[in-house]
Structure 1
Amino acid sequence: MKKTFSIVQGPATADISLAFLLVGVTYDRKMRVWILFVLCLAGNAFAASITEEPPIVEEEEPILEEALPEVGSNPVQVEIGEFDEAIEVVEDNLNEENPCLNHHCKKGKVCEVDEENTPMCVCQDPTSCPAAIGEYEHVCANDNTTYDSSCHFFAHKCSLEGTKKGHKLHLDYIGSCKFIEPCLDVELSEFPLRMRDWLKNVLVTLYERDEENNMLTEKQKLRVKKIYENEKRLQAGEHSLDLLAHDFEKNYNMYIFPVHWQFGQLDQHPIDGFLSHTELAPLRAPLIPMEHCTTRFFDQCDSDNDKYIALEEWAGCFGIKDQDVDKDMVI
């Protein structure tokens, strides 16, 4: 059974204009929308650094698979950090004398001042969250509960802070909760074929449309230029799985950098050479409803079950040989 990556609508990002650069690309409709999202991710990946809360060691609990279904930072146009529980936000206040003006609070919390006018972060009242405009704003948590929006979810999670239930509660994917069919072994083997080809085409498109938009660094452009100018490159389009597998075998070198590049795009909070559940969320959250093998794929990547995906594990999931894994390529 053949599948293609697709996307659902979501709130626009600060750099959503970058997404429209791909409108003219000759991908099928679903693939095109998928790429719109990653451009937004690439455009914002170098934004303010974000500090992730230290993990709490608990009894065996697979962090990458939580009875959940999404794609995250690829299929949906969402702000970077939309699914990051450690992201900090600044209260919008024009009064320069307000102590909360420069006081940062993570998702689910807002700044208030005490009797001594000292700023502090308190859990946000869910009723203060903007009403959801449409179904696309709904999110599903790993407890199979649908929330009106990510704002409502994080406000609720904050109210459970310090409890075991609160620690285990995570935003799972975009959209209302629904049944996610099991991923068969044969389907799991097909997943990286499409993913690798997609990553390569995203980079080529960024290179073609970059100009002065700074979507790629100079070092990245040099890497992608070699792929772009290679006459053997499989052009973007809808290809059979057999052709994708054949192209990976014959033009293996073209896929090495795209896999490293995507790892670097996700490894941001903090940049430490490992992908946490939170860092994977922008890629997983929108993908799960459309690609039901997403959760199993990323769970399989964590081969040592330490709840983090190292570069070597990530590259191995996409078929990159051990000798070709290079940390200096994550640029």
Structure 2
Amino acid sequence: MRVWIVFLLCLAGHAIAAPETEVGTNPVQVEVGEFDEAIEIEDVVENPCLNYHCKKGKVCEVDDSNTPMCVCQDPSTCPAAEGEFEHVCGTDNKTFDSSCHFFATKCALEGTKKGHKLHLDYIGPCKYIEPCLDNELSEFPLRMRDWLKNVLVTLYERDEDNNMLTEKQKLRVKKIFENEKRLQAGEHSLDLLARDFEKNYNMYIFPVHWQFGQLDQHPVDGYLTHSELAPLRAPLIPMEHCTTRFFETCDADGDKYIALEEWASCFGIKERCGQRLHHLSSSDGQQQFERNF
């Protein structure tokens, strides 16, 4: 009997505690209805910056009308460098933590005299580079020509998927690769390099012009700017202290652009070989370049 009394008291207590509901109303339906009304479904809008590309040093932001635009990146938002191998040196002889920090800083200086003069000089922390003497400057093209030739031969040997050289380029390099008179890669005296250039002049024409074509990309107009030279300057300068002076000397007319004939002349290639691209437009230049060289 006591068990029944306890059971009835529990039922009574539960009835008192339960909220009042209207007759015929399902409490569960009321709770679900209230929950649904509390949810606001928002349309998912695609980020306008998702496929909007900006040049180095800039990031995409949207204005009040949700239109994407490129603005200078804050250097403090660049990822922290993981080591000295990520540091770069600017032409102002200042070390930047990374290329991201460099280009963001250069962007902030756009339109100023300092920003116009600031370029990426080389990879790694800034260090003292010995002055290039006149006799060393005259020797630089000898080593550079040989280096370019060997770079092309190496690409030919490793280019199995045709990702590095076109078929026309491979045919050109194949002739150099199979030539039994080719000077093998290695440490050679300057006299030997000079004699080889004189005897095997034709082997060096294509490598010199190929490198020009590789650098002349933004746009393809038959001229090299300081920015276009950066991919070649950056790895070379730490090894060759005459690199900067050499490229400055190539700009014979001092107009801040290196034309193909100026580039060829720097390497001792006859001028008539270098004039073929000078008059071509950016749209036709690369195709004509490949046909001629």
Aligned partners of 2:208 and 2:267 also within 8 Å: yes
The within-5 A match list for 1:92-131 is: 97-131=46-80
Please state whether the residue corresponding to 1:178 is helix, strand or coil: coil
TM-score relative to the length of structure 1 = 0.68
Residue 138 (structure 2) aligns with: 189
Structure 1 alignment gaps of length 5 or more: 1-94
Q: Over aligned residue pairs, what C-alpha RMSD do you find?
A: 1.7
Q: State the Cα deviation string for residues 31-79 of structure 1 (Å, max 9, x = none).
A: xxxxxxxxxxxxxxxxxxxxxxxxxxxxxxxxxxxxxxxxxxxxxxxxx
Distance 1:225 1:137, change over 3 A: same
Q: Distance in 2 between matches of 1:285 and 1:234?
A: 27
Residue 170 (structure 2) aligns with: 221
Residues 1:157 and 2:103 aligned together: no
Q: Distance in 2 between matches of 1:96 and 1:301?
A: 52
Q: State the Cα deviation string for residues 127-150 of structure 1 (Å, max 9, x = none).
A: 110100111111111222211111
Please state whether the residue corresponding to 1:105 is helix, strand or coil: coil
Runs of 4+ in 1 over 4 A off after TM superposition: 328-331
Q: Identity of counterpart residues, as a percentage?
A: 83
Q: Distance in 1 between matches of 2:213 and 2:45?
A: 37
Q: Which deviates further from its counterpart, 210-219 or 265-274?
A: 210-219
Q: Which deviates further from its counterpart, 187-196 or 102-111?
A: 102-111
Q: Distance in 1 between matches of 2:54 and 2:178?
A: 46
Shift in Å, 1:166: 2.2
Q: Distance in 2 between matches of 1:203 and 1:291?
A: 20
Q: Quick one: which amino acid aligns to residue 182 of structure 2?
A: R
Which of 241, 249, 253 is matched with 1:300 structurally? 249
Shift in Å, 1:266: 0.4
Residue 218 (structure 2) aligns with: 269
TM-score relative to the length of structure 2 = 0.76
Aligned partners of 1:263 and 1:314 also within 8 Å: yes
Shift in Å, 1:96: 7.5
Please state whether the residue corresponding to 2:192 is helix, strand or coil: helix
Residue 282 (structure 1) aligns with: 231
Distance 1:118 1:307, change over 3 A: same
Shift in Å, 1:122: 1.9
Answer 1 or 2: higher relative contact order, Cα 8 Å, separation at least 6. 1
Distance 1:313 1:149, change over 3 A: same
Residue 186 (structure 2) aligns with: 237
Distance 1:219 1:137, change over 3 A: same
Residue 210 (structure 1) aligns with: 159
Q: How many residues align?
A: 237
Q: Which deviates further from its counterpart, 129-138 or 115-124?
A: 115-124
Aligned partners of 1:257 and 1:329 also within 8 Å: no
